[in-house]
């Protein structure tokens, strides 16, 4: 072990990536390092007396480094980072080293042991994540804080942080908790809160309920399970022990059906089922007219998909199409679009360089006589339509997203905000994009007081200027 130094880091994949970037730039070879995630397992520095490498101090003097890995590889590496095998960090550094300094086409060598280990871990975590999304069953608990949905799940890998964003998105309008043996997470409609795990193997048998649920609330916990046939066919045997004894199964199936139904009723339906297999912008736009996740598309003249540069650094999200957009099939064409165009010009942003879309893709309205009157979409409708917006975000991958109004903010941030709390702020959403929330142009149109109107207009322009600069866009209108 002589000469091997310990790389100590925290914050999972993000922390590993920061350390790896510095160490790669300094050309520190994989065999000289041992990776140690703080708080996980025993520190080899303590066990073997290895020297710790002070990589944060080296960061300031890092030589230039061009990383030879694709975004796809990084996504796969992130999945690997949730594998239970502690060797994963070493494996990831070995691979990124070889990709950078030895063979950029290494991943094509499927017979390579390290490539094989990487692919098998990635596949394992993805399959495990799929099971978590499919098998987590919530039970409704009535508490003083209102209804809370609770589930207990035992994944093969400690991947709760990997799948939590899925549940946050899917069930953003209800409070829920997921308990696993490794850790637990609670969504309170605003943010995710992390807590300890519940002891492994502690099944939801009667005498352990109090203790299990006691992790969070003074109540009981007993996960509901449904679709026993499908579950037995598809669910690995290791999950079965989390089920109550046989004599309780009938009763539980009955209860769980009701509870899962209640959960499904309370959660918005999702447009996800209507997404095409290939989620590029052209396929998405082609598939939109077929969406029947809610009634809005069928009632409107047409669904209105986003438009603009397919790789824009800046994406603008509005509320929903208006009367003119409903007729033309393009976003921001009517009076609100005109206000937006003026603000874009003031901020020196060319419409063709950005991507424009809406939180809800169809014009919600009511009929009064011969007129169609705009109606604001409900949070439930925003939740239902969100799958389209998410796919657009995934396809375009902007640096910055500007939410025009609070409906857009709800869709992008997954929670309601007040403009006065978020105005002029740059919000970071995970690793992905920066978010700015500002006025909706239609709101500016409706303001009667001239001073207030001017102020809101200026604030919209300021937000767009800030977005342009954050996105690293050069001025292209003079």
**Nearest distance, CB of residue 419 and ligand URA, angstroms:** 15
**Nearest distance, CB of residue 74 and ligand URA, angstroms:** 34
Among residues 128 and 326, whose Cβ is nearest to ligand URA?
A: 326
Among residues 30 and 322, whose Cβ is nearest to ligand URA?
A: 322
Q: Which residue is nearest to ligand URA (CB)?
A: 318
Check the CA dihedral 104-105-107-112 and report its sign.
negative
Among residues 122 and 319, whose Cβ is nearest to ligand URA?
A: 319
**Nearest distance, CB of residue 38 and ligand URA, angstroms:** 45
Among residues 235 and 404, whose Cβ is nearest to ligand URA?
A: 404
Among residues 124 and 318, whose Cβ is nearest to ligand URA?
A: 318
| The pair of three-digit structure tokens given for residue 465, joined into one six-digit string | 């200027």
The answer to whether 404 and 319 have CB atoms below 8 angstroms apart is yes
**Which of these, 58, 76, 168, lies nearest to 120 by C-alpha position?**
76
CA separation for the pair 166, 272 (Å, rounded) = 12
Among residues 293 and 336, whose Cβ is nearest to ligand URA?
A: 336
**Nearest distance, CB of residue 151 and ligand URA, angstroms:** 36
Q: What is the DSSP letter of 236?
A: -
Q: Pairing relation of β-strands 5-9 and 33-37?
A: parallel
**Nearest distance, CB of residue 138 and ligand URA, angstroms:** 33
Q: Pairing relation of β-strands 183-187 and 192-196?
A: antiparallel
Contacts of 218 (CB under 8 A, 6+ apart): none
Residues binding ligand URA (CB under 6 A): 318-322, 325, 331-332, 336-337, 358, 442
**Nearest distance, CB of residue 336 and ligand URA, angstroms:** 4
CA separation for the pair 90, 83 (Å, rounded) = 13
Q: Residue 75 class from Cβ within 10 Å (0-12 exposed, 13-18 middle, 19+ buried)? A: exposed
């Amino acid at each position: 072990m002589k000469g091997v130094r310990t790389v100590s880091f925290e914050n999972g994949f993000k922390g590993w990536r920061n350390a790896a970037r510095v160490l790669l730039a300094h050309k520190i070879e994989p065999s000289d390092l041992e990776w140690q995630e703080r708080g996980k397992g025993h520190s080899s520095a303590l066990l073997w007396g290895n020297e710790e490498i002070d990589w944060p101090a080296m960061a300031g003097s890092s030589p230039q480094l061009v990383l030879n890995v694709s975004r796809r590889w990084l996504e796969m590496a992130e999945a690997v980072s949730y594998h239970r095998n502690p060797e994963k960090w070493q494996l990831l550094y070995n691979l990124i080293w070889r990709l950078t300094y030895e063979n950029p086409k290494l991943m094509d060598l499927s017979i390579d042991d390290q490539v094989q280990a990487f692919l098998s871990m990635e596949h394992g975590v993805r399959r495990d994540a799929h099971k978590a999304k499919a098998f987590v069953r919530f039970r409704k608990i009535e508490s003083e804080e209102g209804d809370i949905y609770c589930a207990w799940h035992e994944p093969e890998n400690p991947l709760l942080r990997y799948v939590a964003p899925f549940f946050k998105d899917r069930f953003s309008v209800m409070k829920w908790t997921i308990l696993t043996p490794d850790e637990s997470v609670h969504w309170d409609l605003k943010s995710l809160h992390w807590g300890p795990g519940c002891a492994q193997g502690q099944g939801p048998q009667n005498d352990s309920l109090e203790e299990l649920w006691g992790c969070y609330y003074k109540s009981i916990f007993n996960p509901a399970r449904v679709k026993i046939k499908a579950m037995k066919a598809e669910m690995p045997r290791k999950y079965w022990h989390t089920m109550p004894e046989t004599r309780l199964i009938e009763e539980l199936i009955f209860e769980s059906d009701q509870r899962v139904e209640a959960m499904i009723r309370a959660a918005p339906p999702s447009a996800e089922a209507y997404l095409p297999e290939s989620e590029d912008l052209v396929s998405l736009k082609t598939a939109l007219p077929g969406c029947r996740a809610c009634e809005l598309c069928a009632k409107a003249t047409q669904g209105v998909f986003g438009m603009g540069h397919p790789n824009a650094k800046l994406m603008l999200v509005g509320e929903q199409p208006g009367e003119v957009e409903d007729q033309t099939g393009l976003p921001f064409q009517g009076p609100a679009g005109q206000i937006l165009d003026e603000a874009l010009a003031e901020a020196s942003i060319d419409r063709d360089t950005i991507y424009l879309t809406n939180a809800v893709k169809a014009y919600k309205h009511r009929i009064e006589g011969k007129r169609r009157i705009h109606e604001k979409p409900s949070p439930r409708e925003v939740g239902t339509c969100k799958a389209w917006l998410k796919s657009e975000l995934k396809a375009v991958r902007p640096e910055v997203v500007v939410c025009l109004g609070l409906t857009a903010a709800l869709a992008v941030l997954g929670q309601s905000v007040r403009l006065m709390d978020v105005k002029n702020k740059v919000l970071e959403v995970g690793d992905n994009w920066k978010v700015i929330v500002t006025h909706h142009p239609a709101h500016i149109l409706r303001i009667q007081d001239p001073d207030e109107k001017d102020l809101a207009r200026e604030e919209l322009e300021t937000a767009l200027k800030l977005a342009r600069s954050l996105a690293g866009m050069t001025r292209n209108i003079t």
